[in-house]
Amino acid sequence: SAVISQKPSRDICQRGTSLTIQCQVDSQVTMMFWYRQQPGQSLTLIATANQGSEATYESGFVIDKFPISRPNLTFSTLTVSNMSPEDSSIYLCSVAAAGGYNEQFFGPGTRLTVL
């Protein structure tokens, strides 16, 4: 499986500010995904990020709040804009496995606390 890293691993931010999270993969991948895991809950897909096209957002998530970049096949960023305490969460990127069975592998996550 691909090796995925995320930066920062954690951050504490003031409300109203923005944070950009980076996701780096050690191999080229077509599809990358961004998820949120709120405290005590399971993962929710925010958006799918494909290289060379706009990200596709899930219901409840909008580009103005969570802009995503995907400049190449090994890198993506997620920005959490105009943060509020409700954005405190773990943000994870994932990549689809090569081949045909649709597994995804996850980065270590970014733990965000908004004060």
Q: Smallest distance from the beta carbon of 16 to another protein, in angstroms?
A: 27
Residue 34, strand partner residues: 47, 93
Kindly state the smallest distance separating residue 80's Cβ from another protein, in Å: 18
Could you identify the residue written with the tokens 């500010």? 17
Q: What are the backbone dihedrals phi and psi of residue 52, each rounded to the nearest 5 degrees, phi first?
A: 85, 5
Nearer to another protein by C-beta: 77 or 94?
A: 94
Asked whether 95 and 2 are in contact (CB, 8 A), the reply is: yes
Nearer to another protein, 17 or 98 (CB): 98
For residue 94, the minimal CB distance to another protein (Å) is 8
Nearer Cβ to another protein (48/81):
48
Q: Which residues bind another protein (CB under 8 A)?
A: 1, 31, 33, 41-45, 48, 56, 58, 92, 96, 101-109, 111
Residue with Cβ nearer another protein (13 or 31): 31
**Comparing C-alpha atoms, which of 74, 70, 90, 76 is closest to residue 2?**
74
| Minimum distance from residue 99 beta carbon to another protein (Å) | 11
CA–CA distance from 51 to each of 17, 46, 70, 90 (Å)? 27, 16, 5, 24
